[in-house]
Amino acid sequence: MKFTLNEIAELLDGELEGNGQEEIFSISKIEEAKKGSISFLANPKYESYLYTTEATAVIVGKDFRPQRKYNSSLLRVADPYSGFTSLLEEYQKILLIGKSGIEQPSYIGEGCKIGENIYRGAFSYIGQNVRIGNNTKIYPQTFIGDNTNIGDNCIIYAGVKIYAGTQVGNNCIIHSGAVIGSDGFGFAPQSDGSYKTIPQLGNVIIEDNVSIGANTTIDCATLDNTIIRKGAKLDNLIQVAHNAEIGENTVIAAQAGISGSSKVGKNCVIAGQVGIVGHLQIADRTTIAAQSGISKSIDKKGTFKMGSPGFEMKDYMKSYAVFRNLPELWERVRQLEEKILNLPAK
């Protein structure tokens, strides 16, 4: 990476205070930055580092007012965290530019349509009638099944398994070990106590700008589609079951499980180890706290659920204030009962 501050300011649509010809070679945390690096200040807790950092430049908010002398150039943007994220994205693209061409051994089936500037790593397998867009990177030991479509500018990291018929949009990232399109958990109980497998004949649709974490599994639908809507971000080790739907710009943290046929709305935040029962509807802008269990649909937009089973956060906090003191309350009740029993009879 090598940019001038003027180039970075143009990229981020920012206002530069400093020498625009200075060159930036790396991106660093503000407390560890050295000359030639750029950092950012979004959290006021880290402001003290601005006055001691060796960074050549620091990205700050347009309304930031320093309280002491500093040595770095300032790049003022509307949102320093978002601006820094955009810079990291550009840096990642630079790191990936060197990956191009076809490494051997690798396999590609008949009837495939492959875009321009593709990278296919060694030991990757691409089945028949697969379509892959421009600028997509497919890392080693990736499996892509027959009749799969993958859009432009995608990154499929090493060891990803994408089953036949999966549809992946543009600008998607799928991290190592993810499995897309495996069978849903469908078994029909039989009269003798055994279970018969229900064929899973649907597929998975992943829309544009989706990120899927390492070792996450998304099951294909029994019929129709399992859908991850555009802009959704899934962490590592998440299970999305058959026929589920994850709404636009929803984020889900690690070890959460979305059961079959549940529909999660737009702009939801689902924390780690959350469990959602099957066939539920989760309203837009719902937030669910870590380790909560959701057993009923959430109809009101903007709800915050906590606990297992999950209920309104304010009610949960009130209840928690009580049940955390249950041992003491029980002892007081026991003492009162003894006093009542020892009252003299009238």
> Which stretch of DSSP H or E encloses residue 312?
strand 311-312
Does the active-site annotation cover 242? Answer: yes
Tokens for 264? 């999660």
Helix (H, G, I), strand (E, B) or coil at 322: helix
CA proximity to 219, closest of 235, 197, 242, 199: 242
Q: Are 227 and 245 in contact (CB under 8 A)?
A: yes
Give phi and psi for 162, each to the nearest 5.
-115, 115
- Selection from 155, 164, 122 nearest residue 140 by Cα: 122
Q: Which two tokens stand for residue 108?
A: 């590609």
From 242, 263, 266, 305, the catalytic residue: 242
Tokens representing 289? 């706290």
CA distance 34 to 21: 17
Cα distance between residue 323 and residue 89, in whole Å: 46
The token duo for 303 is 């709800």
- Of the CA atoms within 13 Å of residue 1, those in its CB half-sphere come to 21
Q: Could you tell me the CA-to-CA distances from 140 to 18, 39, 125, 236, 328 in Å, in that order? A: 44, 33, 9, 20, 60
Q: Which residues pair with 119 in a beta bridge?
A: 101, 137
Q: How many CA atoms lie within 13 A of 259 on its CB side?
A: 14
Angle between helices 313-323 and 326-341 (to 10 degrees): 50
Q: Could you list the active site residues?
A: 242
